[in-house]
Amino acid sequence: MYDVAIVGAGPAGSTLARLIAGRYKVLLVDKKDLSTKAGESSPGKCCGGLLAPDAQAMLSKMALGLPKSVLVDPQLFVVRAIDVSRQIERYYQRFYINMDRQRFDRWLLSLVPTDVELRLGWRFKSYQRDKDHFTLRLIKDGQATEESAKILVVADGASSRVRKLALSGRPFPRAYVAIQQWVEADHQLPYFSTVFDPEITDYCCWTIPKEERLIIGAALQPRHQVTDKFELLKTRLKDYGFQFGKVVHRESAFILRPTRPQQISTGTDGIALIGEAGGFISPSSAEGFSYAFKSAIILADVLRETPDDFESRFRRKTRKLRANLLIKNLKSRFIYDPWLRNIVMKTGLQSLQVHKS
C-alpha cells in the first residue's frame, strides 16, 4: 500500500513526487515511458515549449538550473503581436526560454528520487474507493494491474481521466482544441508571434521558431470547423510575410482555459488535483508550467506538514493562486476583446521600436 499515488508525471506530478519523496511511500504513474530510450523517440507532448518568466521564477524558487540539453535555438527576446482585424502589429520585449518539451519533462522526471516507485508506460483506467484507501486499475499492453494508496493525486493534465471520474458533474474549465503544425523554415525567425483574429478563434494563435522548424499553432473552439480555421491562420500568416516549407509534423491536444473560479478544483475526500488537471493554467497566455509547479509545491508543503485534513488545507493555501487566475481572466478580457486590445495596441504602450536589417 502506498501513502500517495500520483497519476501523471508531467511538470506537476514529477515536482510533487520529488518534493514528498522520503516523507511518504510514493507511486508515480504515467501512460508514457519518458525514462527510457524508447520514450525519447516516442512523440512528445503537443506544446510550445516556452518557459515564461513566471515559470523561470519557479525554477529559481526550487533552486533548479536548467540543463543545456533541454534548450533549443533560438532564445527569444521579442514577441511580435499581430492584430489581423485592425491590421496593427507591435513588438514587445519578453524573455522566453525556448525548450524541447520532451527533454524538459524527462529532465524533471530524472530529478525524482529513486525511492519513488515509477510505473511508466502504465495507463490509469479507473479507481475504486474503499474505506481508507483507493485501488487504482492500471493497464499496459493489454495487461492489467492494481495498486492501492491512501491519497490519490490527480496530475494527468488537460484531458484528465481521474478528474472526470472523481468530479463528474462539477464545472470544468473551457477546453480548446490546440493544433500545431511543425513546418520547415528556410530562415530562423528570431521572435515568438501571437496572432489575434476573431474569425479564427476567441483565444490565441502563435508561431514559435524551433531550430530549423517553425511551429504554427492555434487554440480553437471545438466544433467550430477547426481544420478550416487552422488553414485560415496559415493564409493570414502568409499575408504578414511568413513563408512555410513542407509540413513535417502535426499534433493536437486539449488546452484548458479556466474562466470562472468554480472551474478550478483542488479535490476532496482523499483526492487532490494539481497542474492543468485542476484547472491551474493561465487563461490569458495559456502558460501552464508555472501553475503546474506552484500547485505541486503548495500540495507538497501541505502534505509535508501532515496528511491530516490535507484537502481543506490545500484548498486554503491555493487561495492566492486561484485569485491570480481570476486576475489573469480580467487581463484576458483586455487582450482578447478586439476593442480594448485596439486601444492598447494603438497607443503603442510598452511596445518596442525594432531596427531590423
Ligand X SMILES: Cc1cc2nc3c(=O)[nH]c(=O)nc-3n(C[C@H](O)[C@H](O)[C@H](O)COP(=O)(O)OP(=O)(O)OC[C@H]3O[C@@H](n4cnc5c(N)ncnc54)[C@H](O)[C@@H]3O)c2cc1C
Q: Which stretch binds ligand X (CB under 6 A): 62-70, 79-87, 150-158, 226-234?
A: 150-158
Chain centroid to CA 343: 30
CB atoms within 10 A of CB 280: 30
CB atoms within 10 A of CB 27: 25
Give the DSSP per-residue string, 263-282.
G-----TTEEE-GGGGT-S-
Kindly write out the interface string for residues 67-106 of this chain, putting x where it contacts ligand X by CB under 6 A and - elsewhere: ----------------------------------------
Applying the rule CB under 6 A, the residues between 157 and 196 that interact with ligand X are 157, 161, 178, 180
Alpha-carbon distances, residue 52 vs 59, 135, 194, 255, 313 (angstroms): 11, 37, 14, 17, 29
Which region, left, alpha or beta, applies to residue 49 given φ > 0 means left and ψ of -120 to 50 means alpha?
Answer: left
In angstroms, what is the minimal distance from the CB of 25 to ligand X? 19
Binds ligand X (CB under 6 A): choice among 4, 5, 46, 166: 46
Q: Which stretch binds ligand X (CB under 6 A): 24-32, 228-236, 237-245, 305-313?
A: 24-32
Tell me, by CB under 6 A, how many residues bind ligand X.
Answer: 38
205 in contact with ligand X (CB under 6 A): no
Query: Is 124 strand, coil or helix?
Result: strand
- Identify the residue whose cell numbers are 502506498: 2
Start-to-end Cα distance in the chain: 64
Which of 12, 82 has the CB closer to ligand X?
A: 12
Binds ligand X (CB under 6 A): choice among 12, 84, 195, 303: 12
Degrees, nearest 5: CA angle 244-71-118: 115
Which of 176, 347 has the CB closer to ligand X?
A: 176
Residues lying near ligand X in the complex (CB under 6 A) are found at 7-13, 29-32, 46-50, 52, 55, 123-124, 155-157, 161, 178, 180, 217, 253, 255, 275-277, 281, 286-289, 292
